[in-house]
Structure 1
Amino acid sequence: MGKTAEAIAEGVSIASAAARLAIRNRILVETIAHDEPFEATAFAPFARETLVGLADEQDEAAALIKRQRKRAWGKFTEPDGTHDYRDRDMRNLRKRGRQYSGVAQALRRMADDPHVVRTLIEQSRDAAWGDVEANLQRRLRVEGMRPELDPDYDRMRAARMQSIRLVDLPRLAAHKRHHDEAETDAAPAAEPAAPSPRVSGIDVSELES
């Protein structure tokens, strides 16, 4: 029972981490993408649904174990694969079934406890704000970085210059050629010069002086 309790506690810890991740993502979407104010009570339904959904997954796993136990009972031949259980696996399967059911029950109790739900939301909020803060700090470091303060400046400068020579400059030259060709094609053709007036085969313009 001690090992079973430890396994249940570990399963609850993993499920709680998954719930915090899901709630954190929801907080980021609602407060940043949708520009909504943070209200813990607004996320309570989603937090409860997340916990119940994780509990349902554990119950489904326990039901699968029960079916596998029924198929394994009375079989003493060699298994054909990893999940081809035999009678000698009954004890381990029973233990795993209890663990899955125990985790499911614990998660449902958490979902029914307003204090636990609120604590989960606050932890998720702290994680969300931590992500935002880390992103802002990275952006500020990049935008405010001076060459003498960047330890990788000299090492990366050669790569940046090579990228300019091999990628940016040829792309700019190709763009200019395309622009020049487009202007040439769009320019109107020059009108031919009007022929000089002639009278009886004589170029009249030659008489003008």
Structure 2
Amino acid sequence: MGRNADAVDEGVAIALAAARLSVKNAILVSTISLGESFDPQHFTGTARDALIALADEQDAASDAMSRARKAAWGRHTQPHGTHDYRDRDVRNLRRRAKQYAGVAKALRALAEDSEQLRDLVERARGAAWQDVETNLQGRLRVEAMRPEQDPDYEKMRDARMQALRLVDLQKLSAQARRKRKAAAGETTGAPS
């Protein structure tokens, strides 16, 4: 029983990490892209939906293992691939189906627990803030850094100069040509 319980606990932990990532992304989109204020109540539905979707995936995996177990029953030939199960795999497939079903049941219970949902949203908010903070620190470090403070300045200088010549100056030149053509079209009265 310990092996099944451990597998279910591990599956729930992995699923919670996936749900947290999903809620974190929803928080980032809502607050940064859409400019909305963070409201934990707004994201409890997102957290519940994420947990239910993951539980549905686990139920589907459990059903797949049950079908594979039934198909493997009584087959004693050599398998032709990784998922070509035989009679000797029946016990393992039964255990895997139970573990998937156990994870699904635990996730559904979490999805109905308002305290667990609030905790999931709060952890996702913390992860979202960590992403924003890391991004800001990186940008401030790079944009505010002076050449003598950058340990890779000399090593990367040639690549930056090449990018300036091949990309930035080419873009600037093309932009200037478009402006000249547009200005020439306006002075001659030709439609642009």
When the two structures are superposed, what TM-score results if normalisation uses the length of structure 1? 0.80
Q: Corresponding residue for 2:21?
A: 21
Partner AA of 2:157 in structure 1? R
When the two structures are superposed, what TM-score results if normalisation uses the length of structure 2? 0.87
- The 5 A counterparts of 1:46-61 are 46-61=46-61
Q: Corresponding residue for 1:193?
A: none
1:8 equivalent to 2:34? Answer no
Between stretches 161-170 and 78-87, larger displacement belongs to: 161-170
Q: Corresponding residue for 1:96?
A: 96
- The 5 A counterparts of 1:63-74 are 63-74=63-74
Aligned length: 188
Secondary structure in 2 matching 1:151: coil
Cα deviation for residue 154 of structure 1 reads 1.6
Unmatched runs of 5 consecutive residues or more in structure 2: none
Unmatched runs of 5 consecutive residues or more in structure 1: 189-209
Q: 1:145 to 1:92 in 2, by over 3 A?
A: same
Cα offsets for 1:142-178 (capped at 9, x unmatched): 2211111111112222222334445555666677678
Q: Corresponding residue for 1:199?
A: none
Q: Corresponding residue for 1:161?
A: 161
Give distance in 2, aligned partners of 1:176 and 1:54: 53
Give distance in 1, aligned partners of 2:124 and 2:52: 17
Greater radius of gyration (CA): 1
Give distance in 2, aligned partners of 1:24 and 1:172: 38
Give distance in 1, aligned partners of 2:185 and 2:58: 70
Give distance in 1, aligned partners of 2:8 and 2:22: 21
Give distance in 2, aligned partners of 1:182 and 1:45: 52
Partner AA of 2:98 in structure 1? R
Q: 1:116 to 1:169 in 2, by over 3 A?
A: closer
Q: Which portions of structure 1, spanning 4 or more consecutive aligned residues, are displaced by more than 3 angstroms?
A: 162-188
Cα deviation for residue 97 of structure 1 reads 0.7
Q: Corresponding residue for 1:43?
A: 43
Give distance in 1, aligned partners of 2:115 and 2:181: 71
Q: 1:113 to 1:149 in 2, by over 3 A?
A: same
Partner AA of 1:157 in structure 2? R
Secondary structure in 2 matching 1:156: helix
Q: 1:110 to 1:181 in 2, by over 3 A?
A: closer
Give distance in 2, aligned partners of 1:118 and 1:182: 57
Cα offsets for 1:125-149 (capped at 9, x unmatched): 0000111111111111122111111
Secondary structure in 1 matching 2:84: coil
Cα offsets for 1:102-145 (capped at 9, x unmatched): 10011011011111110000000000011111111111112211
Give distance in 2, aligned partners of 1:113 and 1:184: 68
Secondary structure in 1 matching 2:132: helix
Secondary structure in 1 matching 2:133: helix
Cα deviation for residue 66 of structure 1 reads 0.9
